[in-house]
Amino acid sequence: MTTATTTTEPTGPATPAGVPARSHATLSRLTFGGILRSEWIKIRSLRSTFWCYLFIVIINVGFAALASWLVGAGRGRGPGSALSTAGGPAEAIGIITAGLTLSVLISAVLGALMITGEYGTGMIKSTLTADPRRFGAVFGKVLVFGISSFVIGLVSLVVAALVATPGLNHNNVSFDWSDGQFWLALIGGAGYIALVGLISFGLGAIIRSTAGGIAAGIGLVFILPIIGTIFSALTSVAWITNLIAFLPSNAGGKIYAYGAGTSSVKDGLITLDATQGLLVLLAWAVVLLAIATVTIKRRDA
């Protein structure tokens, strides 16, 4: 007769006497570097991210190429005819950034998807479990998404400038690659793409709904200025016009405009310069992301 014996496999190294055993939750916590690597893997593996970034590149490059060849027709010149007046860098920037508004729209959609998608799939529970304090997880997402969007935006605008150069030269529109203001305009355009995405990210985190986050982001950046402009035209009230100047789209338009000029207050109407536009756009992003972080901290996943 044989006696059945049960063998228990060791589950891990023995804990020395006097040393408390660490829980799985403690062992599974990630460092901030680990959070960044995790978020980078997520953003690279999502098909929505790939397609949105691809569309941003295609739109910026395609619109710039098309506009650079159509600028001659826009001035009332026939094909192949010489222009009597030369266009400057301000006109060149306007042509190179012809697709920027649509790119910003895509960035607003992607920004909401970056956070609401995790709530929809339930992945947010794993994300917050890995960082119980939650601040690191939110900041990691913001950092990875913000830098990725800025880089994609800047690369697409530089390529757009390269692609548009033959058409601009053909239509006697010149710019200087060594011009610091020219590069500031391109960097400002990329910053506009990234910051609007972060604004939409914050709204999505607060609302926790994909449809609601996208609608709020698009409404704030694109719809609200139109409504405000209509009311301003009908009522001629100065404070409505001034309020519109501080909306994300109008502030963002200042940071990629070549030679945006200086700020002023004339007849009670406020005009922002490029630096003020950047600060206003940053304020929108920081405030909404701060509210989103507090909301994520207090709510259950």
**Cα–Cα distances in angstroms (integers) from residue 288 to residues 47, 198, 291, in the given order:** 26, 9, 5
Instruction: Please tell me which of 106-120, 150-164, 221-235, 258-272 the model is most confident about, judged by mean pLDDT.
Output: 150-164
Which tokens hold the place of 81? 């005819």
Report the range of poorest mean pLDDT among 131-140, 201-210, 222-231: 131-140
In total, how many domains does the chain have?
1
**Cα–Cα distances in angstroms (integers) from residue 191 to residues 146, 158, 183, 273, in the given order:** 9, 13, 12, 16
In a domain, 80, yes or no: no
Give residue 202's pLDDT band: very low, low, confident or very high (50, 70, 90): very high
In a domain, 4, yes or no: no
Determine the structural domain holding residue 100 and report its residue range.
31-75+85-298
In a domain, 5, yes or no: no
* Pairing of β 269-271 and β 264-266: antiparallel
Contacts of residue 221, defined as CB under 8 A and 6 or more positions apart, other chains included, come to 104, 105, 108, 196, 199, 200, 247, 248, 249
Identify the H or E element spanning 266.
strand 264-266
Alpha carbon distance 195, 199 (integer Å):
6
Per-residue pLDDT at 97: 95
Whether the predicted pLDDT of 151 surpasses 90:
yes
Average pLDDT for the chain: 84
In a domain, 7, yes or no: no
In a domain, 226, yes or no: yes
In a domain, 261, yes or no: yes
In a domain, 238, yes or no: yes
In a domain, 16, yes or no: no
Give residue 26's pLDDT band: very low, low, confident or very high (50, 70, 90): very low
Instruction: Please tell me which of 36-45, 60-69, 261-270 the model is most confident about, judged by mean pLDDT.
Output: 60-69
Instruction: Please tell me which of 21-25, 137-141, 295-299 the model is most confident about, judged by mean pLDDT.
Output: 137-141
Whether the predicted pLDDT of 11 surpasses 70:
no
